[in-house]
Structure 1
């Protein structure tokens, strides 16, 4: 066991599962430990996630408790996943950082669909807007966002430009990020790029009420090669991650289509942006 072990939520869920198996069979810790050959203290620590559970120990419990094979095998897979995650976190280097890699995917994509909650999408931001959002306190992230924006701008007039479809709430227009001058410049830029055939900007009106994906921003990227699956990109101020499972990215695509259905058309959206500029 690691010297300063701290159970992850996955390991705690595994412990609850083991305790659930024992409770279903109405066995005390002592009775269960005796059957499987563990001390009651070890079994208690496994159930309470005071120590990590080993795959072989979970297999032994599944056998002794007569748990259906698919059920205990699923828990073993969770244990192995927890072991891999712990091994990664113990390393000094991050194996792969999606936030650092995102600009590369933008350079390779053919379609970028972005749904944001309270900001203009990254690729459509001006530097002053981005700096105001980050308040100049995160130079690394500022540089990464600048790279994403520059990659997109460099492709805007290509023979095969990156198609950008952006959807965000009307309320984004009323948030004066960086002050009136910065925000006005940002909205004028938004109107300018919206005239490009490769760019679609649509607003979800405030009158729409609840709408699909509310509270869950995401970016979905599509690529030209059949061997390259769609990738969803999710980011918070703490971390970024890619979601690549086809069934999950398909859900993102479906959700984005529903967002477009809830949004105003591009013409009506541009009228709202123009009104915000003139305000």
Structure 2
């Protein structure tokens, strides 16, 4: 393993693919290790992305599992890209962060979201998401739904996902999908804001300029030492992961400043209730 290895989101996606191959066939780590010729401990580190996955090892696993050629070749291409990226080479990435983001949310232990014009994806109701994507890009709907489902699946875990969200008051006043849909969304936001692992804060419209204005981002934290924080940025063109620790630290500082400028949880809840009552 490279010294002080830190897995990229792409390497985590590779590990997730390997784990899915094994799960789909109902095999244990020990059973696969015996068949492929290396230890169950090594396979575990590959699946959990705490070491890089070598191309030959992926090919061996694809053979043992009987994975269709196009499927294992895709993962091999990702591993080859990850290896070149680690060596400092830069070429076109065979990986779509926008499609992967929901999976990464499921693996995270903390999520800090700053949005500028929408309710954070983790808290969106299906009708709200549909109204957003219908006029923008319907293909985004599946990705947004996956993010919502990831949080929903984790909120009652023994190790639940902690969510902190900050957004401007304008998000509450933008009537997405019509009054009925928006009111249901605001009532849902009130409900989830009372969950013990959730913090929702609203920047009031009288606050003036605030940090990261016009630049939404989501910052994810993970339990493994080998997995650095990852910032996720998205436009209507593409999604992008930012992994450089210096840049993710900047996101962290801005998020802390946003929370300081925003109303407290109680006052924010009152503002959400006020907006819902007006619909």
Q: CA deviation at 1:148?
A: 1.0
- In the superposition, the TM-score normalised over structure 1's length comes to 0.66
Q: Mean alpha-carbon deviation: is it higher for 177-186 or for 140-149?
A: 140-149
- 1 CA distance for matches of 2:234 and 2:126? 19
Which aligned pairs between 1:82-121 and structure 2 lie closer than 5 A?
84-85=90-91, 88=92, 95-121=94-120
Instruction: Give 2:215's aligned residue.
Output: 216
Provide structure 2 residue ranges, at least 5 long, that are not aligned to the other structure: 1-87
- Does the CA contact (< 8 Å) of 2:133 and 2:139 recur in 1? no
Instruction: Give 1:13's aligned residue.
Output: none
Instruction: Give 1:240's aligned residue.
Output: 239
Deviations along 1:79-118, one digit per CA (max 9) or x if unpaired, are xx9x944xx3xxxxx6011011101110110100000000
Instruction: Give 1:129's aligned residue.
Output: 128
Provide structure 1 residue ranges, at least 5 long, that are not aligned to the other structure: 1-80, 89-93
Are the structure 2 counterparts of residues 250 and 137 from structure 1 closer, same or farther at C-alpha, using a change threshold of 3 Å? closer
- 2 CA distance for matches of 1:236 and 1:243? 14
- In the superposition, the TM-score normalised over structure 2's length comes to 0.66
Q: CA deviation at 1:217?
A: 0.5
- 1 CA distance for matches of 2:247 and 2:140? 27
Which aligned pairs between 1:141-220 and structure 2 lie closer than 5 A?
141-220=140-219
CA-based RMSD: 1.6
Are the structure 2 counterparts of residues 208 and 137 from structure 1 closer, same or farther at C-alpha, using a change threshold of 3 Å? closer
Q: CA deviation at 1:138?
A: 3.1
RCO (CA 8 Å, sep 6+): is it higher in 1 or 2?
2
Instruction: Give 1:258's aligned residue.
Output: 257
- 1 CA distance for matches of 2:126 and 2:181? 9
- 2 CA distance for matches of 1:138 and 1:204? 28
- Does the CA contact (< 8 Å) of 2:164 and 2:200 recur in 1? yes
Instruction: Give 1:9's aligned residue.
Output: none
* Moved beyond 6 Å, runs of 4+: none
Q: CA deviation at 1:151?
A: 1.1
Are the structure 2 counterparts of residues 137 and 213 from structure 1 closer, same or farther at C-alpha, using a change threshold of 3 Å? closer
- Does the CA contact (< 8 Å) of 2:103 and 2:146 recur in 1? no
Q: CA deviation at 1:141?
A: 1.2
Q: CA deviation at 1:136?
A: 6.3
1:139 counterpart SS class: coil
- 2 CA distance for matches of 1:189 and 1:239? 28
Deviations along 1:204-228, one digit per CA (max 9) or x if unpaired, are 0111000111111100000011110
- 2 CA distance for matches of 1:257 and 1:138? 32
Instruction: Give 1:57's aligned residue.
Output: none
Q: CA deviation at 1:277?
A: 1.0
Number of matched pairs: 192
Are the structure 2 counterparts of residues 207 and 151 from structure 1 closer, same or farther at C-alpha, using a change threshold of 3 Å? same
